A and B are shown apart, each in its own frame.
Chain A
């Protein structure tokens, strides 16, 4: 361990968790959000040299992405699903993609987080560790509100577990004010799969619309298990329900704009999938 003034640098997870349990520190995983509001008294725990946090590998069920992997590393890894690559491809710009990390994107807990949207729609889970143990929870349970998560002061996000299957048929659109260096104004991700004419997967997530990323599992459930014909007959009803459920907040753009884009993309997603 190296103890700088206002910072600790460690090269293994055990030591990182020990520091986390003993000191009041801010985990630093890339810095591209933290340094925007750099505080003079911040004490950082630097995570960028911890091998356990920088691996990408897969097991039977999941692609496991270390929380301190940079966007560029994730983008260039052959295990990474295409939908996640798409979200990284137009995230900020090269220098930010080289430093920023998936874990940082998640823990910063912004509803605008580009990769978090994908983890949401993909039913990703988060592996969270502390010196005394670990827990795995669905990403939706991680967020409490804008900038707020359930991460305890002695815990670190270690890995993101992305399900390996069912991500092939996707729809992704980020709407920003420009083509690069853009903070999303609305982002939409959808997954759709069928087996023998039956819808097996139907998921939609909306970013930059409310205080957290939005996903409505009860509405998705209306389509899962249905035939395409049944789904078509339910289409108008589903759209009406989403129209009710999505209540955007006003930010740099109006709530009306956000709502129009969400509904347009949702309909396009249905159209693209023949519903």
Chain B
């Protein structure tokens, strides 16, 4: 019984405890991870006898910190670190320091000097507490390759001395952008209807949302609020976007009563804060919010969505944003207007199945069946995701053609 409670404390508190202990070790991840592991083992041995402490987190940090100092004392060449430890840190108000430490840990894990896949693996391992096997499964790689990636990243952090601190204000916007990019990548990896274990994918989304909550809690910036709202709004539709047979259900056909209202309400409350200084995440969240508030696809405020896509395209003039803007224009002003925006993107998006699928859908609505069939076939030819392939094949069947 108590062992289960300790396991729960471990899951809930590991990242916070680890974040503080890494600071105590001046950025030495390996020593910190060992010390935290030993502290939890000590809890398993002592709490059943002594009773659980009133402040489990504080207890774990104190024990792990002592383990670190013991281990540093054993290593003569690191003597100076002990001296530094004895003079600072002790007087910190524990709660405040822990909060800051999680933010430090995020910035260090997502430092631009680390490769992006290493940033993602390190964030999932240290902040989300996923195991090496779980990370490997989520990213379709081997546990050995993931372990190797983590070891290399930790060696670089201590070897090259990547700082364990929140960046100064001049660098903060860029660095925050890097952290948000990793969080959103984790979310999308969990949200994409590709291969992989469904359970671990759901866990990735949950962890990404949890990490975004930390950013919101610990920074004043608008964009983390936009990011959190955006992910909550996508995640609210999770159950409605796949039917009982595992097939994709388009936004316009989803049963909106199955959307998670609690998540939507939380996101809607964040939108005004995100729009104090609107960036790409805040604008995308606003678009998702308009969908979330509409009773049906037809009753959606499409002109407002087009205006938001105009704004997004001004900041991120990519062909993918242009494609989505074109789809919104089709809904607001009709398929012909949408096609006018989408057609010029052909040279850039010829290999992208959603370009052909969006075009096919507009041709279908215009009654240009032969053109639509050809476009669906082009989409099928460059699509590798099984659920999406089945969706495109079904569309071809409804048009009287075969894939």
- Chains A and B come from one and the same complex: no
Interface residues of A, Cβ cutoff 8 Å to B: none
Q: Which positions in B face A, CB cutoff 8 Å?
A: none
